[in-house]
Amino acid sequence: MRAVLVTRTGGPDVLDVTDVPDPLPGPADLLVRVQASGINYIDTYFRSGSYPRELPYVPGDEGTGVVEQVGSEVSGFSVGDRVAWAAAPGSYAELVRVPAASAIAVPAGVDPPQAASVLLQGMTAHYLIESTYPVRSGDVVLVHAGAGGVGLILTQLVTAKGATVITTVSTDEKEALSREAGATHVLRYDDDIPSRVRDITDGVGVAAVYDGVGASTFDASLESVRIRGTVALFGAASGPVPPVDPQRLNKAGSVFLTRPTLAHHIRDRAELEWRGGDVVRALADGTLTVRVEHRYPLEQARQAHIDLESRRTAGSIVLEP
């Protein structure tokens, strides 16, 4: 089968398309013909060596496709079923071995590129607003990178709860996308964000900041949150945040600071089905719309990573074998 192979860490140029052996599914696995693979920032962290991973490897953990083979110990799935996943290493390929415990059934009518790019970002948004800081009707929250994949999903799901969303973006085009998703107030990164947030909230600050940008926005996040509010630092698109003196949290108003990750929020099948099921149902019933900005063939995986890291894209991007 054709797949993207990484034999050394580095920039996008280390992504090579080549022929590799077909994966061999075990008794608890599904063999899936990939229709689309999601591309996420965490893929760039592994590719660059920021996160360790044994070499060589096929990148990608997220995607959707059609089941071609079912392991002998698997129940609940059949050949021909459409499934999506967010934890199947080797997804930048034509075939992937998906642990059945990681697969989510995809309802009829859901577009493959949307299904391929919704689970990782959607379940991230889900745990942020259901578990990290459970959003309630009437809350005001701040979402950085409001036109990014997670940002657009967060905005839609928070708005559906009856809360108000403030976002940050970099361009007029991204502002329009953020407002379309439901953002009431859209700020630019070069604004005095804490001052603007305080004006919007009558001096109180936001209940929570969902910050996937990191180094360049962290100070503004800390200064924008209300007393005993929550800063959820769930990514580092602009680079990692330097070590933080805990006394800063006291000065900011007994603020809660957390660095959550999806893996700790889908620790068993029941939790995965809760979060993944909520996300795909929201996609199927129209509560949630996923904007797929670009669709790249496997041969353009390098360009996909270049576009992602340059922050020239809004919404989600996928590979299509």
Half-sphere exposure of 255 (CA within 13 A, CB side): 28
| Contacting residues for 152 by C-beta, under 8 A, at least 6 apart | 146, 177, 178, 181, 290, 291, 314, 315
Query: Over the stretch 35-45, which tens digit does the pLDDT of each residue have?
Result: 999 998 889 99
Q: Is 116 helix (H, G, I), strand (E, B) or coil?
A: helix
Nearest to 194 by CA among 214, 227, 219: 219
Kindly give the pairing relationship between strand 82-85 and strand 63-70. antiparallel
Name the DSSP class of 92.
Answer: S
pLDDT at position 41? 84
pLDDT at position 104? 96
pLDDT at position 108? 85
pLDDT at position 146? 95
pLDDT at position 42? 87
Percent helix, percent strand, percent coil in the chain, to nearest 5: 35, 25, 40
Q: What is the mean pLDDT of each run of 10 residues along the chain (321 residues)?
A: 98 97 96 96 93 96 97 96 95 98 92 92 96 98 93 96 97 94 97 98 98 96 98 92 96 97 94 95 92 91 92 80 91
